[in-house]
């Protein structure tokens, strides 16, 4: 059996949830597990933390349905705009939705009423990101129209911040001001929502005025601070490990891997490890990636292959079966998703989300 594994730390998940509980006591915690829990394993993570959180957030209806199949019973909010064709599944799986389109809400209403059900809806206000949602000036009329639908229960109202992970809080402050103005307008008309949520991880950590009655925590749940946010209390949840499967000695000048981009400058030992871009360990990292073996950092050399990588371990006594860590800690050394993201020119969200389903996820303490 291939030794490549992703270890998911239950204790790190508990630590991170407890941190957000302390930051905003008394608020509802929506754990965002979309995109396979940012690569961590959606069903595994959700089952592990269900007793510790209040709701789950997913991107699409299919993800919500998969959580129901996995046995999740707590509320699930679909965060992306649903379509008319999603209505049957939304009602069948008892999913909450963001309300952005009256046509969609009317279709959900028809299906819900036919089954004597009510579906929870969260009015999504576009305060400046301009990706999804209702423009502030259109929200009152939209809410009034939705309130007439017997199969819809307006349980929440929300917005999403575009730059809450930056030290410059100008845009976040302005978006929050627009959101607060909408809340005031709706309250004056007699509309109140049990769940008011705007804060993602960055806002939860940096902008207390955005906490309202619920937090939507995604990347922070997994122990990664977004953007410029400093949060040393977070503990990384994911550890990507494998093992050496072959060791060979090569001479100075000999090439390694596809394209022969790398030639050994001196006689050296090359270790083969069974992970590659087919697992989501990106080929973009060719010539930049490192790994840990025996608590020491070594360069991954040559082109990253679909299923394997090659490691230059010099003259060190590395053996077949030795553990290799690509993300996470080993001994006193660590490689973080953020470090890898910097080398790829991307963000840590992408690094972990790229990790393929073919890598087995295991829960550890």
- The set of catalytic residues is 34, 258
CA terminus-to-terminus distance, the chain: 23
C-alpha count within 13 angstroms, C-beta hemisphere, residue 342: 7
Spatial contact of 105 and 152, defined as CB atoms under 8 Å apart: yes
**Closest C-alpha to 45, from 33, 62, 29, 27:** 33
Indicate the burial class of 32 (C-beta count within 10 angstroms; 0-12, 13-18, 19 or more).
Answer: buried
CB-CB contact of 60 with 98 (8 Å): no
Residue 85, token pair as written in the block: 């064709």
Residues near 301 by Cβ (< 8 Å), separated by ≥ 6?
256, 257, 262, 270, 287, 310, 311, 312
**Whole-angstrom distance, CA of residue 29 vs CA of residue 298:** 40
């Amino acid at each position: 059996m291939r030794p490549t594994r992703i270890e998911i730390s239950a204790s790190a998940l508990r630590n991170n949830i407890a941190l957000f509980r302390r930051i905003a006591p008394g608020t509802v915690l929506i754990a965002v597990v979309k995109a396979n829990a940012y690569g961590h394993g959606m069903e595994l993570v959700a089952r592990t933390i269900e007793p510790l959180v209040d709701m789950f957030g997913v991107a699409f209806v299919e993800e919500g349905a998969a959580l129901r199949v996995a046995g999740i019973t707590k509320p699930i909010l679909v965060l992306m705009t649903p379509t008319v064709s999603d209505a049957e599944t939304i009602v069948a799986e008892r999913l909450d939705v963001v309300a952005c389109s009256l046509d969609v809400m009317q279709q959900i209403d028809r299906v819900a009423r036919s089954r004597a059900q009510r579906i929870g809806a969260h009015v999504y206000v576009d305060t400046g990101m301009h990706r999804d949602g209702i423009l502030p000036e259109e929200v009152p009329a939209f809410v009034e129209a939705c309130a007439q639908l017997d199969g819809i229960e307006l349980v929440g109202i929300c917005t999403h911040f575009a730059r809450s992970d930056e030290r410059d809080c100008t845009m976040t402050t302005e978006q929050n001001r627009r959101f607060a103005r909408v809340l005031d307008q709706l309250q004056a008309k007699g509309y109140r929502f049990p769940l008011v949520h705007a804060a993602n991880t960055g806002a939860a950590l940096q902008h207390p005025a955005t906490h309202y009655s619920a937090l939507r925590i995604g990347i922070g749940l997994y122990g990664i601070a977004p953007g410029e946010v400093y949060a040393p209390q977070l503990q990384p949840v994911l550890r990507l490990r494998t093992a050496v499967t072959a060791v060979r000695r090569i001479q100075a000048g000999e090439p390694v891997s596809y394209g022969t981009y790398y030639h050994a400058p001196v006689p050296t030992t090359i270790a083969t490890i069974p992970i590659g871009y087919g697992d989501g360990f990106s080929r973009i990292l060719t010539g930049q990636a490192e790994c840990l073996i025996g608590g020491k950092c070594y360069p991954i050399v040559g082109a990253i292959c679909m299923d394997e990588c090659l490691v230059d371990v010099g003259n060190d006594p590395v053996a077949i079966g030795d553990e290799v860590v690509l993300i996470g800690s080993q001994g006193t050394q660590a490689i973080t998703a953020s470090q890898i993201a910097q080398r790829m020119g991307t963000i840590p969200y992408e690094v972990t989300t790229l990790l393929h389903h073919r890598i087995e996820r295991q829960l550890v303490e």
